[in-house]
Amino acid sequence: MTGRHRFILQAYHPEYACPAFATMFTVERLGELQALLGPDAWSDPEIEMRYWLEPADLAAISRLAVTPRC
């Protein structure tokens, strides 16, 4: 896939199991994001499933994210 792909990342509160934070990010290379998320992401082209991320995964996603143009 080519072009920009926009996603919303939500963090859940560990004690209350509800969304505590959300941010939108954009990537140009969807395949790199799918590779980072793991094998289930290859069959989830819209990245609609839930993926549990480690701090290192979040850092990698921030490196993939495209800086918005003004």
Mean pLDDT of 6-30: 91
Contact status, residue 36 vs residue 61, Cβ threshold 8 Å: yes
Sequence ranges of the domains in the chain: 5-64
Smallest Cα–Cα separation from 5: which of 42, 38, 43, 47? 47
Task: Compute the distance between CA of residue 61 and CA of residue 56 in angstroms, rounded to an integer.
Answer: 9
> Would you state the pLDDT for residue 66?
87
- Per-residue pLDDT band at 70 (split at 50, 70, 90): low
pLDDT in tens, 31-62: 999 999 999 999 998 899 989 888 899 999 99
